[in-house]
Amino acid sequence: MTSNKEDYLKVIYEEGGLEQAVPNKTISEKLDVAPASVSEMLAKLDKQGLISYEAYKGSRLTEAGLAACIDVVRSHELWEVFLMRHLGYSWREAHEDAHLLEHVAPPRMVDRLDAFLNYPKTCPHGSLIPQNGQAPDRLHLMRLSNLSEGETAVIHRVVEDGTLLDYLERSGLQIQKAIQVLSIDDYEGPVSFLQDGNTITISFKAATQIFVECQNIISQEDGQ
């Protein structure tokens, strides 16, 4: 399998393609590939049984498609952990260079890397790392931009996009930590929240790229 195909499958996986169809537009944006080339590649992947493609809806990952990309996903995320922990990489740098390593590292190297890192559960950006060739159970997360003022939540994951990662890392926000929303300005204005005693303000657009577990919802469910 060429790295190009793996990249497509990986994007479909990352965009939730196990549960729902991922639109061509999303794939085209994520891979920075022209829509016509995306359609062409998706037709091929569909023919090979790696995805099931439905016109106007998009692509879902099949079992075969998952099997074909899960090891690359795992490799990518483990390299990210290594690069940040041991080589002082930034969020963005780790994501970018892990993309190079994920395709060349043989399975035994990835297994030993996993052991060396003491079997991390998540990548530095909060994605759950697959284990035993299985996709991790997805948590029911919501976008930070959908929270209301005063609500508390835990940041679980941020979307892995180079410029966004730089922006978010500069803001000082931390993954796996609780926040309380202070304000969300009208007309998709800036979003401010409190984390670890610091007030952090980010753009509304960035807040749509951050996935959180809302604590209010959990307590409501517990109360039932």
Given candidates 101, 123, 155, 168, which one binds Zn ion under the rule CB under 5 A?
123
Segment interacting with Zn ion (CB under 5 A) among 17-25, 52-60, 73-81, 162-170: 73-81
Q: Which of 108, 118, 110 is nearest to 74 (CA)?
A: 110
CB-closest chain residue to Zn ion: 123
Given candidates 6, 7, 80, 102, which one binds Zn ion under the rule CB under 5 A?
80
**Rounded alpha-carbon distances, angstroms, from residue 44 to 52, 119, 162, 174:** 11, 35, 28, 40
**Rounded alpha-carbon distances, angstroms, from residue 66 to 15, 166, 168, 197:** 13, 29, 29, 41
**Cα distance between residue 97 and residue 124, in whole Å:** 13
DSSP designation for 15: T
**Residue 157 binds to Zn ion (criterion: CB under 5 A):** no
**E-strand spans in the chain?**
51-54, 58-61, 142-143, 152-158, 178-184, 191-195, 198-202, 210-214
> CA end-to-end span of the chain, whole Å?
49
Segment interacting with Zn ion (CB under 5 A) among 34-42, 52-60, 62-70, 115-123: 115-123
**Residue 95 binds to Zn ion (criterion: CB under 5 A):** yes
Minimum CB separation of residue 128 from Zn ion in Å reads 10
Q: How many residues bind Zn ion (CB under 5 A)?
A: 5
Here's the x/- map for Zn ion, 49-68, by CB under 5 A: it reads as --------------------
**Residue 74 binds to Zn ion (criterion: CB under 5 A):** no
- Count of residues for the chain? 224
Given candidates 15, 102, 151, 160, which one binds Zn ion under the rule CB under 5 A?
160
**Residue 114: alpha-carbon gap to chain centroid:** 19
Smaller CB separation from Zn ion, 53 or 103: 103
Give the binding site for Zn ion (CB under 5 A): 80, 95, 123, 125, 160
